[in-house]
């Protein structure tokens, strides 16, 4: 990996300008851009030949490449990276788009439904695949547990989190447990855990209830055994909602059916995406852009990710976009950022 920061000084004004033109034009047209075109339309005081020289330099440094001898130049991942960090201008989000987003958010009051629809809209506006994860509960603050007996030997556990999010889990109890006993255990748990995050609870639950072990029904023991299920974002709870497939297939890269397969792979295999988002989560910044091979995953090496965090009183989730590396970063980044903020505002009200 070349150190991009170092490169900033190494590139002359002219080189930067030409790199800018190549990336910008390629993003717009998906066609490799040639020296003659730049000379004619964008950099009129330079001849095509001079531009070719510059391009050759840029290729040597690793910012550009070309698919075959007589084709125009195409940005490399590194080229995109430089473009994003130093050359690109962020595009203002249109008022109509802001309006559409707010209208969509207001429309439903079920949280998951809202996220799903927002994801669809995000895909539609950006013409890319969109991803939205449901809130990451482990940093949420425990408020209250409620135990409800269901037919036979089932027990419904309701866990409230401070922001108003509620999580329900069904547990299998060995035998029927009397109501007053349930209440008693519930009270104990509530007293001891209130104010902690789910993550803290998960890590210290056993210690905190050690002294109540010798009760009759083994209910506490059941809780200890199920602690992961109760206080972790289980696979089926922390959902990744993927939308906008029909938008992305209009992109010119998908005339080639083999690229098609890779997209299908992506939407069927949520695990890949979950994995990548985890990586993003470790970052400190609010939004993250990953270009092509910057994420090590082989299946996504031709795709870029733009994701942002939404934060609802400490409980966070992610929204983002996946698309070909040739992506309109200047437009997509503000869009994702805006949607993340809008979701946060919506969920916290």
Partner DNA sequence: GTAAGCACTCGATGAGTGTGAGTGCTGTGA
Partner DNA sequence: TCACAGCACTCACACTCATCGAGTGCTTAC
Beta strands in the chain (DSSP E): 64-65, 74-75, 129-133, 142-150, 154-161, 166-172, 240-243, 287-290, 303-312, 315-324
CA 24/CA 75 separation, integer angstroms: 10
**Quick one: tokens of 277?**
């988002």
Is 194 among the residues that bind a second copy (CB under 8 A)? no
Is 32 among the residues that bind DNA (CB under 7 A)? yes
Q: Which residues are registered as beta bridge partners of 312?
A: 315
Residue 72 interface partner, choices a second copy, DNA, none, CB cut-off 5-8 Å depending on type: DNA
Tell me if 232 sits within 8 A of 123, measured CB to CB: no
Shortest Cβ 300–a second copy spacing (Å) = 16
Q: Which residues are registered as beta bridge partners of 219?
A: none
In the complex with a second copy, the residue whose CB is nearer, 78 or 322, is: 322
Is 68 among the residues that bind DNA (CB under 7 A)? yes
Largest CA distance in the chain: 89
Shortest Cβ 69–DNA spacing (Å) = 4
Residue 328 interface partner, choices DNA, a second copy, none, CB cut-off 5-8 Å depending on type: none
Give the x-and-dash track for 225-264 against a second copy (CB under 8 A).
---------xxx------x-xx--x-----x-x--xx--x
Shortest Cβ 39–DNA spacing (Å) = 8
- Among 28, 47, 213, 348, indicate the residue that binds DNA (CB under 7 A): 47
* Rounded (to 5) percent helix, strand, coil in the chain: 55, 20, 25
Is 207 among the residues that bind a second copy (CB under 8 A)? no
Shortest Cβ 127–a second copy spacing (Å) = 14
Piece of 17-25, 30-38, 80-88, 112-120 that binds a second copy (CB under 8 A): 112-120
Q: Which residues are registered as beta bridge partners of 307?
A: 288, 320
């Amino acid at each position: 990996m070349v150190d991009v920061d170092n490169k900033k000084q190494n590139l002359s004004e002219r080189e930067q300008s030409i790199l800018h033109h190549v990336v910008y034009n390629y993003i717009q047209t998906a066609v490799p851009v040639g020296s003659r075109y730049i000379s004619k339309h964008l950099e009129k005081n330079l001849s095509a030949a001079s531009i070719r020289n510059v391009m050759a330099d840029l290729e040597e440094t690793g910012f550009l490449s070309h698919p075959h001898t007589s084709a125009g130049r195409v940005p490399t991942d590194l080229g995109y990276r430089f473009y994003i960090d130093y050359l690109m201008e962020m595009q203002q989000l249109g008022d109509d788009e802001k309006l559409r987003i707010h209208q969509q958010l207001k429309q439903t009051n079920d949280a998951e439904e809202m996220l799903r629809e927002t994801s669809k809209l995000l895909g539609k506006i950006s013409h890319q695949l969109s991803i939205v994860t449901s809130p990451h509960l482990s940093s949420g603050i425990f408020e209250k547990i409620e135990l409800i007996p269901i037919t036979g030997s089932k027990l419904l556990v309701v866990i409230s989190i401070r922001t108003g999010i509620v999580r329900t889990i069904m547990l299998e109890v060995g035998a029927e447990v009397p109501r007053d006993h349930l209440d008693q255990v519930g009270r104990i748990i509530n007293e001891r855990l209130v104010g902690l995050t789910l993550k803290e609870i998960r890590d210290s639950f056993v210690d905190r209830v050690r002294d109540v072990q010798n009760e009759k029904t083994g209910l506490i023991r059941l809780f200890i055994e199920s602690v992961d299920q109760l206080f972790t974002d289980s696979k089926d709870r922390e959902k990744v909602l993927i939308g906008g497939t029909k938008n992305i297939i209009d992109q010119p890269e998908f005339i080639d059916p083999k690229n098609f397969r890779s997209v299908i792979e992506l939407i069927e295999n949520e695990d890949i995406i979950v994995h990548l988002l985890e990586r993003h989560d470790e970052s400190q910044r609010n939004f993250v852009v990953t270009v092509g091979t910057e994420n090590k995953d082989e299946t996504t090496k031709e795709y870029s990710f733009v994701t942002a965090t939404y934060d609802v009183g400490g409980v966070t989730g992610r929204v983002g976009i996946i698309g070909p590396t040739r992506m309109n970063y200047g437009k997509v980044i503000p869009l994702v950022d805006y949607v993340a903020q809008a979701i946060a505002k919506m969920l916290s009200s």
